[in-house]
């Protein structure tokens, strides 16, 4: 077993389980892999652990439609079989969406996934036109300052947002689709952006709908 088989799982974190933390979600997946009886590889040494790695953390309360994890298997198991096994071993709210194998040489998900797409839902009462105006106004400033853990932090929107946010409206309910660049120094949280645009305290539901790898050809999906 030189490198093993690197299985990539795309999964959801939805419904009530969006209230799980990154750690809790990770643990849930490790246990699902055990319940599914996958031939997972374990690390060597003192404290053997399953070889599994996750994409960028999703905050407590934020849902995800296409989150990722990589798990190293000691044996090849057909993709359909893996997906069925995992699907039957984890809560519906965390269900696997898609599975596939990637090269064991592939760099880690956390380092490769640099673009996140979000959908931010706003409470009723923000008319789409007004929302559009607020976002435009903020985008025109080029950046904004916000307080984070007692420190002032400046977000340069040209860097933080690789694409202009879009306003969507559906049956009177306004939503924003936005794309955020993630880096080693953290990323702009959609909640922070929205409160800079329309003021703090508006309850919002945030869903990370996609994660992308950014390379010369553009944005590509990890699977």
Partner 1 sequence: MNDVWERVEPLLRQVERPARYVDREWGVVRRPDAGYHVALMYPDTYEVGMANQALQVLAARLSTLDDVACERVFIPWVDMSAAMRAHEVPLFTLESCTPVAEMDILGITLPNELTYTNVLEALDLAGIPLRAHDRGETHPLVVGGGPCSHNPEPMAAFFDAILVGDGEEALLEIVASHRASMAAGLSREESVRALAGIDGVYVPSLYLVGDDGVVRPVDDAPARVTRRVLADLDTYVSPTCPVVPYADVVHDRATVEVLRGCSRGCRFCQAGMVYRPVRERPADSIVRDAIASLRCTGYEELSLTSLSTADHSQLEEVLRRLANRLEGTGTAISVPSLRLDSFTVPLARLLGDGRKAGLTFAPEAGSQRLRDAINKNITEEEILTAVDQAFTAGWRRVKLYFMIGLPTETDEDVTAIAALVERVFAAARAATPPGERGGLRVAVSVSTFVPKAHTPFQWDGQLPIEEVRRRQVMLRQAMPRKGVELSFHDAGSSLLEAVLAKGGREAAAGVEAAWHAGAVFDAWSEHFSLARWTEALASAGIDAAAYAAEARDRHGALPWDHIDSGLSPAFLRAERERADRAETTADCTFGDCTGCGVCPGLGVDVVVAGGERRG
Tell me the C-alpha distance between 33 and 18, whole Å: 20
Tell me the C-alpha distance between 155 and 134, whole Å: 17
Binding status of residue 23 toward partner 1 by CB under 8 A: yes
**Using CB under 8 A, which of 107, 172, 201, 203 touches partner 1?**
203
Which residue lies nearer to partner 1 by CB, 29 or 212? 29
Tell me the C-alpha distance between 153 and 172, whole Å: 34
Stretch that binds partner 1, among 89-97, 103-111, 141-149, 215-223 (CB under 8 A): 89-97
> Helix or strand or coil: residue 140?
helix
CB of 6 to partner 1, least distance (A): 18
Tell me the C-alpha distance between 85 and 39, whole Å: 12
CB of 120 to partner 1, least distance (A): 14
Which residue lies nearer to partner 1 by CB, 27 or 124? 27
- Which 54-73 residues touch partner 1, going by CB under 8 A? 60-61
Match 């950014």 to its residue by tokens.
Answer: 214
Which residue lies nearer to partner 1 by CB, 8 or 13? 13
Binding status of residue 122 toward partner 1 by CB under 8 A: no
Binding status of residue 84 toward partner 1 by CB under 8 A: no
Neighbours of 20 (CB within 10 A): 19
Stretch that binds partner 1, among 20-28, 95-103, 107-115, 164-172 (CB under 8 A): 20-28
**Using CB under 8 A, which of 5, 50, 98, 133 touches partner 1?**
50
Q: Where are the beta strands (DSSP E) in 2-125?
A: 5-13, 52-54, 63-73, 96-102, 113-122
**Using CB under 8 A, which of 1, 2, 16, 184 touches partner 1?**
16
Q: What is the DSSP letter of 108?
A: P
Q: What is the DSSP letter of 74?
A: S
> 122: number of CA atoms within 13 Å, CB side?
29
CB of 38 to partner 1, least distance (A): 10
Residue 72: alpha-carbon gap to chain centroid: 21
Tell me the C-alpha distance between 94 and 25, whole Å: 8
Binding status of residue 21 toward partner 1 by CB under 8 A: yes
Stretch that binds partner 1, among 19-27, 130-138, 142-150, 155-163 (CB under 8 A): 19-27
Contact set with partner 1 (CB under 8 A)? 15-17, 19-21, 23-25, 27-28, 30-35, 37, 42-43, 46-50, 60-61, 89-91, 93, 203
């Amino acid at each position: 077993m030189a490198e093993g088989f690197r299985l990539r799982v795309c999964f959801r974190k939805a419904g009530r389980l969006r209230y799980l933390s990154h750690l809790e979600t990770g643990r849930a997946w490790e246990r699902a892999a055990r319940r599914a009886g996958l031939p997972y590889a374990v690390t060597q040494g003192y404290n053997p652990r399953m070889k599994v790695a996750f994409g960028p953390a999703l905050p407590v309360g934020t849902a995800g439609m296409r989150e990722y994890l990589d798990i190293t298997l000691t044996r090849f198991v057909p993709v359909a079989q893996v997906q069925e096994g995992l699907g039957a071993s984890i809560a519906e709210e965390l269900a696997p969406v898609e599975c596939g194998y990637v090269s064991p040489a592939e760099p880690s998900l956390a380092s490769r996934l640099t673009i996140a797409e979000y959908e931010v839902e706003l409470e009723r009462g923000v008319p789409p036109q007004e929302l559009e105006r607020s976002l435009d106004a903020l985008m025109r400033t080029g950046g904004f300052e916000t307080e984070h853990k007692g420190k002032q932090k400046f977000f340069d929107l040209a860097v933080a947002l690789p694409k202009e946010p879009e306003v969507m409206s559906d049956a009177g309910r306004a939503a924003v689709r936005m794309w955020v660049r993630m880096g080693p120094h953290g990323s702009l949280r959609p909640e922070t952006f929205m409160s800079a645009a329309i003021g703090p305290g508006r309850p919002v539901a945030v869903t990370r709908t996609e994660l992308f790898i950014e390379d010369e050809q553009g944005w590509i999906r990890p699977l």
